[in-house]
Amino acid sequence: MHNATATLKYQLKSLEKIPVKIWDDPKAGSLHLARSIALAIRQKQQDGEKIVLGLATGSSPIQVYAELVRLHKEEGLSFRNVVSFNLDEYYPMQPEAQQSYVHFMKEYLFDHVDIDPKNIHIPDGAVPMDDVEAYCERYEKMIDDHGGIDIQLLGIGRTGHIGFNEPGSWEDSKTRLVRLDGITRRDAVKDFNREEEVPYRAITMGIGSIMKARSIYLMAWGSHKAQILNEAVEGPITPSVPATFLQKHPNVKVYADIAACEELTRIKTPWLVGMCNWNEDLVCKAVVWLSLKTGKPILKLTDEDYSENQLSDLTIEYDDAYNINIRIFNRLQHTITGWPGGKPNADDSHRPERAKPAKKRVIIFSPHPDDDVISMGGTFLRLVEQGHDVHVAYQTSGNIAVHDHDAMRFMEFVQEYAAATGIANDTLSTVYQKVMDSLAQKQTKENDIDEVRKIKGFIRRGEARAGARFCGLPDDHIHFLDMPFYETGRTRKKPIGEDDVRIIMELMEKVKPHQIYAAGDLADPHGTHRVCLDAIFGAFRQLQERAWMKDCWLWLYRGAWHEWSVDEIEMAVPISPKQLERKRKAIFMHQSQKDKPPFPGSDDREFWQRAEQRNRETARLYRSLGLAEYEAMEAFRRWKF
């Protein structure tokens, strides 16, 4: 089965045992994949044949489905000859439930194309337990009876699962009932409100069923997939990482964005797999790697360190280690500044920011109401203290991440205050009753009614205002944008729309900033941060002709997930112990997010703990490279269009 020659050729450039096509962003890869599928559908149509597609759910294929829908609506692509088999379904699960994969497939694909409903197959999560085994056998047989799957789409879970074949799945497993891994269940919480609601089991096609497909595309978007993707394509074949079985398939391709490929050897340490085209950024990456690997500060690295670690190319190009060391040391040294808005009256030729104008207009965009203080609270405080004209803009209401009991508490407060002061009226009482009834009767899986969402949004507004005021902003510099894409009342959001971009543009036009700070989670393919960033990129594109735009610099901070790697950092702002304490206080203003907010993700630490550990870690890394020792540091990268 194994296509040894193809793999061998590929290995000359990398350690990957599956061909990986790297895309700049998930959209580019998804469009290409959708078009390949469309081509195959049309080809079969021409031959008067049916095509059998194996389909996946989850965030990975969403943009592929969106493009297929567009091709159907705008370019006449018909799905009449398509037969589909979905990989899996939670168990137990009613097909009409919002969390079911039936619902997912209808929402993203089937309701918008002309596929014959008879041709759609999705494992039935409502089959009685006694029948499950026989049902799974029938599902498997149905695939075979249709001649097997022509094209199989896959995502990869953080456990390395494909379908719901969790670690321990055997190579020739067939469609069956399985138990979900703890990590998979935690990742699914975003669709279920509470962890207890996530089913413990699922029906899934087996590894053997997947391997029978004639061609397979595995998608991986975002840096949260980087580690497991590396194991899947470079690691040994093992049931502990079920996706590694794909290495045995003769016709499988990985489509991944650059963020998901960060851990592949040819991206992370390309000098280990072949000749490099050295540029300043790559040299910096190599030197930082070498310093951390050898445990030596940069200025102590020797020619031997370079040659023993496959970096002798560099010492030849730069004459000797000393020249490279000093060059990269200086580069990193120049990223450090206590003056994020630029240092007035100073020579700025080696500083990250311009000295002029001394007083800059600044907008800090915060996707959720607390990202500003969590991710750049220290820099926020400094910018205000150093006299810049700082605005903060909260891009979304953040209303889904507030507990029901908090909404109840605030509604009761309003009602009791109004009653006690004699200003209660019928309208208020009606709203009060409606909110209290709805919260009391709410099933865990239901969306909040509009009134409750409003209250939750106001709770977060109040907290954001308190945080921004704590950082020294006047109220007219605090903006709530309530971007519409976010307002679905559930974790799944709408795609970005023109209104979202327009709102950002209007604020930029009004402030005409010299500096913009934004959450640069390029790695987060579909989440709120990515959409918020796309809206800012969209605004930059549309405003590019404005005269003030030539002075507008965009600095990206990283959101809750992870920090820039040291070689990527272009501005590192030190934080003293006292400033770190103040930053913590600003984060504490977000009371609804304290302890354990709804949807905390897989990280048990509170936000202030994550922020402090991350900022301390950046300082520790700088120190171990031989630079100055600070308590903590916030890091930024400049985005140049």
Catalytic residues: 166
Shortest separation between residue 530's beta carbon and ligand F6R, angstroms:
13
Shortest separation between residue 537's beta carbon and ligand F6R, angstroms:
23
Question: Whose CA is closest to 76, among 111, 41, 106, 118?
Answer: 41
Q: Which is nearer to ligand F6R, 158 or 268 (CB)?
A: 158
Q: Which is nearer to ligand F6R, 176 or 477 (CB)?
A: 176
* Region of 154-162, 377-385, 456-464, 559-567 interacting with ligand F6R (CB under 6 A): 154-162
Question: Whose CA is closest to 406, among 197, 398, 478?
Answer: 398
Quick check: 56 binds ligand F6R (CB under 6 A)?
yes
What part of residues 155-174 is at the interface with ligand F6R (CB under 6 A)? 155-157, 161-164
Is the distance from CB of 80 to CB of 74 less than 8 angstroms? no
Shortest separation between residue 89's beta carbon and ligand F6R, angstroms:
8
Shortest separation between residue 526's beta carbon and ligand F6R, angstroms:
8
Question: Which residues are registered as beta bridge partners of 54?
Answer: 85, 152
The three state secondary structure string of 510-523 is HHCCCEEEEECCCC
Q: Which is nearer to ligand F6R, 56 or 328 (CB)?
A: 56
Residue with the CB atom nearest ligand F6R in the bound state:
155
Question: How many binding residues for ligand F6R (CB under 6 A)?
Answer: 14
Quick check: 58 binds ligand F6R (CB under 6 A)?
yes
Q: Which is nearer to ligand F6R, 59 or 579 (CB)?
A: 59
* Region of 56-64, 172-180, 243-251, 270-278 interacting with ligand F6R (CB under 6 A): 56-64
* Region of 15-23, 57-65, 411-419, 497-505 interacting with ligand F6R (CB under 6 A): 57-65
Quick check: 243 binds ligand F6R (CB under 6 A)?
no
Paired tokens of 37: 């599928």
Quick check: 369 binds ligand F6R (CB under 6 A)?
no
Instruction: State the Cα–Cα distance between residues 456 and 544, nearest whole angstrom.
Output: 36
Shortest separation between residue 243's beta carbon and ligand F6R, angstroms:
9
Quick check: 17 binds ligand F6R (CB under 6 A)?
no
Q: Which is nearer to ligand F6R, 180 or 635 (CB)?
A: 180
Paired tokens of 94: 């009613």
What part of residues 59-88 is at the interface with ligand F6R (CB under 6 A)? 59-60, 87-88
Shortest separation between residue 56's beta carbon and ligand F6R, angstroms:
4
- For 181-215, b where at least 16 C-beta lie within 10 A, e where not — what string? bebbbbbbbbbbbeeeebbebbbbbbbbbbbbbeb
Instruction: State the Cα–Cα distance between residues 166 and 83, nearest whole angstrom.
Output: 26
- For 390-426, b where at least 16 C-beta lie within 10 A, e where not — what string? bbbbbbbbbbbbbbbebbbebbeebbeeeeeeeebee
Question: Whose CA is closest to 463, among 378, 586, 299?
Answer: 586
Instruction: State which H helix or E strand residue 480 sits in.
Output: strand 478-480
- Of the candidates 16, 34, 41, 57, which one interacts with ligand F6R according to CB under 6 A? 57
Q: Phi/psi at 219 (nearest 5 deg)?
A: -100, 140
Quick check: 211 binds ligand F6R (CB under 6 A)?
no
Q: Which is nearer to ligand F6R, 67 or 88 (CB)?
A: 88
Instruction: State which H helix or E strand residue 88 sits in.
Output: strand 88-91
Instruction: State the Cα–Cα distance between residues 311 and 290, nearest whole angstrom.
Output: 9
Q: Which is nearer to ligand F6R, 87 or 332 (CB)?
A: 87
Shortest separation between residue 82's beta carbon and ligand F6R, angstroms:
17
Q: Which is nearer to ligand F6R, 59 or 244 (CB)?
A: 59
Q: Which is nearer to ligand F6R, 34 or 156 (CB)?
A: 156
Q: Phi/psi at 518 (nearest 5 deg)?
A: -145, 155
Shortest separation between residue 60's beta carbon and ligand F6R, angstroms:
3
Question: Whose CA is closest to 366, among 517, 563, 541, 174?
Answer: 517
Question: Whose CA is closest to 290, among 264, 311, 319?
Answer: 311
* Region of 150-158, 376-384, 405-413, 546-554 interacting with ligand F6R (CB under 6 A): 150-158
Q: Is 24 left (phi over 0), alpha (psi -120 to 50) or beta?
A: alpha
Quick check: 383 binds ligand F6R (CB under 6 A)?
no
Shortest separation between residue 159's beta carbon and ligand F6R, angstroms:
8
For residue 246, the 8-state DSSP code is G
Quick check: 26 binds ligand F6R (CB under 6 A)?
no
Parallel, antiparallel, or unpaired: how do β-strands 571-575 and 632-639 relate?
antiparallel
User: Which residues of the shown chain bind ligand F6R in the complex (CB under 6 A)?
Assistant: 56-60, 87-88, 155-157, 161-164
